[in-house]
Structure 1
Amino acid sequence: MERTAVVVGAGIGGLAAALGLRRIGWQVTVVDRAPVLADAGAGISLAANGIRALDALGVGAAVRAAGRGQYTGGTRTPGGSWLARMDGTALERAVGSPIVGIPRSELHRLLRAALPPGALRTGVTVSAATPLRGDRVRVETGQDGEPPAADLVVAADGIGSRIRSALFPSHPGPVHSGSTVLRAITARPVDLRTDFELTWGRGAEFGHIAFADGRAEWHAVLNAPAGVRHPDPLAVLRDRFADWHAPIPELLAATRAEDVLHHDIAELATPLSSFVAGRVVLLGDAAHAMTPNLGQGACQALEDAVVLAARLDGVADVDGALARYDAERRPRTTAVAAAARRAGRMGQQLSHPLAVPLRNALLRLAPSGAAVRAILRHAAWTPPLTRSFSGE
């Protein structure tokens, strides 16, 4: 009999999980509380591990075609001097793929397009996932036409996951990281000399990702308490970064005020004791939301999706497969989240007037291949090889 799953959340991780489960022959329904998927968001960088996961899910080629490889750039000071340069060609030789920059909306569209019609239902708010007799799970919405009971529920409902809160009521949940991020995609192409840059000031970071169509995503990360908002955030940023090097003022000038997104950065600083509760499995930010300092949040969600499907591929013991997923994914994501937190503290969040120049001096003295080796610590991942996943 065909096995069934309900995936709660139509973000990157949820859509990837649906593709992975369908690849091994499961019938999958994806539900999302948004009445309309508005494709909000700015840009995303996908390291080789994320691209390999997308390859395993059958959409890697489409993402490469829509994205732009990051071969040039690096990290700079506000005055424009280089702290570390990026060698995308060396990285591609080492892991088979450059980092790829793509608008989040385009990545979402490509993942949705790979699902069959009718597999995605919007406007469905899930309040609980209740175990039934016979290893079945019912998704409760309080609405007519609830999804039928399933063999598996995948909670991919983000950092504020209601399902996680219900399953682990004693867990402290997400906490503020100490930083806030403002970001947007430029309204027009911008003349950029690099594919990707980060610039570190005292308690501040500005970065950009160049897209294939000439536009760019930019982000500004600032040390700030949660909840601080500005009537005109773009004007605040133009003033804050007015004397930072080009093309930062040009990127802000090419942006419409209404396109600026502002979010406080939160994380699950306390790791969960398990990603599995019965036939409910947590994935992506619902399981291990991390700070964005390594650009690994989406990549880890994509890894989750592939490993979940691979462990369930062709096995009769679903509970054993979920236990193996948990044993494989929890140590990996916990380590990456901790590394991201450390990277933020030594990068964007560093503000002490003596510590910042010391860090900068150490970065300048680092060997030329240090940046590539740092990326490889997390990007050198390959999908499990099973009947349905060749990893190619």
Structure 2
Amino acid sequence: MARAVVIGGGVGGLSAGVALLRKGWDVTVLERAPAVEPVGSGLAIAANALKALDALGLGDRVRALAHAEGPMALRRADGRLLTGTTEEAADSAYGDSVVVMLRATLLDILADALAAASGPGCLRLDATVTEVDAERGVVRTAAGDLEADLVVAADGIHSLTRRALFPGHPGPVYAGVTVWRALVPLEDVRLGDPSRVPRSESWGRGAVFGIQLLAGDVVYLYATDVAPPGGAAADEREELLRRFGGWHEPIPALLRAADPARIIRGDIYSHTTPLPAYHRDKVALVGDAAHAMTPNLGQGACQAIEDAVVLGHLADPSRPGGGLAAYSAARTERTTRIVRRSMTLCRMSRLRNPVAVWLRDSAVAAVGRLSPDLMLRSMDEVLRWRPPAEAVPSRGPRDGR
């Protein structure tokens, strides 16, 4: 049986492991963390990624455990509506809307699928990879070497494997903004009706604040603002209140209810220079290791899941490295376009000049009035993606569709 070693136990790595197991590979997933720690953030899974998860046999489980997003509003910092869309419109156009869930919940679903298909030993924790021999397919770890017919590098935005395969590539660059993420139990906000915490994203001068309601009445908050990289505050909640405390409700109330110790802060990086390929010899790159992007389109994890499904479909277990050129060809152009579109939105969101901000907001509002489905149609190319036909399990349409 052909053997695959996956480096990284995040969304992309676990999805790749499941996809390859379904195609008959013997799979080992290596994760450097000593335990599967809860990840304190939410995750949006759009229609394209839900279809990819269908191909892994996991789509309906994700839908059942996630929270349907409902209406989406884009607002100014003072709360004035710029434009919006609805769950019904997305479902009608793409056969799915967008669901949101805890990132940890999706990781649990993927890890359970791995264990069910191959046993608990398929995922090895506390396994730090020190080197990869791409030509021979050897993965070196502190515990010894692993030989593989296929190595999948899902080792994240600062991938050591990518740097070894493409030493001349500049790698991801700082996008100019820092992101904060937090989870807040709705009961701690004391707003009562969950409808008073609408799904929204608000734009100000150089800053963005997003609100998502997750299953179990947990509110996921995310915020970005222009800041030097590597920064940290003694109290990140106070830092957020300083930056966003004057914005429209319920933003200040949500921030006051957040636990300062559980606010996650990090800098945003993006692959402004695309890689020439997503493979070399016996190694394939997936997710952030291949195409790190800003979160503005909500497609980082979605594209990693797409990568996994396409790789599982094309990687040929009958010959080492077989199908990887086809994988690169199938993924590089699409993901490069999405990386660039996301970076364009990031640049728009970080505008600070008052005149530029007014022009941006006025243009979005005007186009939204002329074309109420602007937000949805702008994502058409992204959301209409479907997995390769042969990768989808043979069954009838979901929910009668």
TM bucket, shorter chain: over 0.9
**Tell me, what secondary structure is at the counterpart of 1:337?**
helix
Q: Tell me which amino acid in the other structure corresponds to 1:183.
A: R
Which residue is 1:365 aligned to? 366
Higher share in helix: 2
Hey, which bits of structure 1, 4+ residues long, moved more than 4 A?
387-392
Q: Is the 8 A contact 1:56 1:390 kept in 2?
A: no
In structure 2, runs of 5+ residues without a counterpart are: none
**Residues 161-212 of structure 1 deviation map (CA, whole Å, 9 limit, x = unaligned):** 1111111111111211100011100044453435521000000111011111
**Tell me, what secondary structure is at the counterpart of 1:114?**
helix
When normalised by structure 1's length, the TM-score is: 0.94
* 381-390 or 4-13, larger mean C-alpha shift: 381-390
**Tell me, what secondary structure is at the counterpart of 2:379?**
helix
**Residues 235-283 of structure 1 deviation map (CA, whole Å, 9 limit, x = unaligned):** 1212322221111012112211111000011112111111111000000
Q: Tell me which amino acid in the other structure corresponds to 2:137.
A: V
2:162 to 161, 164, 167: 164
Q: Is the 8 A contact 1:209 1:217 kept in 2?
A: yes
Q: How big is the shift at 1:25?
A: 0.8
CA distance 1:306–1:192, change in 2 (3 Å) = same
- 1:207 has 2:236 as partner: no
CA distance in 2, matches of 1:196, 1:36: 32
Q: How big is the shift at 1:65?
A: 1.0
1:262-281, aligned counterparts within 5 Å?
Answer: 262-281=265-284
Which residue is 2:16 aligned to? 17
Which residue is 2:246 aligned to? 243
Which residue is 1:72 aligned to? 71
When normalised by structure 2's length, the TM-score is: 0.92
CA distance 1:131–1:47, change in 2 (3 Å) = closer
1:1-392, aligned counterparts within 5 Å?
Answer: 2-116=1-115, 117-131=120-134, 136-141=136-141, 143-146=142-145, 148-189=146-187, 190=189, 191-193=194-196, 195-312=198-315, 316-317=318-319, 319-346=321-348, 348-366=349-367, 367-386=371-390, 389-390=393-394
CA distance in 2, matches of 1:71, 1:357: 28
* 13-22 or 46-55, larger mean C-alpha shift: 46-55
Identical residues among aligned pairs (%): 42
CA distance in 1, matches of 2:127, 2:25: 21
**Residues 33-53 of structure 1 deviation map (CA, whole Å, 9 limit, x = unaligned):** 111121323011111011111
* 191-200 or 89-98, larger mean C-alpha shift: 191-200
**Tell me, what secondary structure is at the counterpart of 1:228?**
coil
**Tell me, what secondary structure is at the counterpart of 2:196?**
coil
CA distance in 2, matches of 1:364, 1:234: 31
CA distance in 2, matches of 1:390, 1:255: 45
Q: How big is the shift at 1:355?
A: 1.1
CA distance in 1, matches of 2:198, 2:245: 22
CA distance 1:64–1:203, change in 2 (3 Å) = same
**Tell me, what secondary structure is at the counterpart of 2:5?**
strand
RMSD of aligned residue pairs (Cα, Å): 1.6
Length, aligned pairs only: 384
Q: How big is the shift at 1:156?
A: 0.2
CA distance in 2, matches of 1:26, 1:256: 43
**Residues 324-359 of structure 1 deviation map (CA, whole Å, 9 limit, x = unaligned):** 10001000100000000001112x211111111111
Q: How big is the shift at 1:231?
A: 0.5
**Tell me, what secondary structure is at the counterpart of 2:267?**
strand
Q: How big is the shift at 1:74?
A: 1.3
Q: Is the 8 A contact 1:32 1:123 kept in 2?
A: yes
CA distance 1:283–1:198, change in 2 (3 Å) = same
CA distance 1:91–1:352, change in 2 (3 Å) = same
Q: How big is the shift at 1:317?
A: 4.8
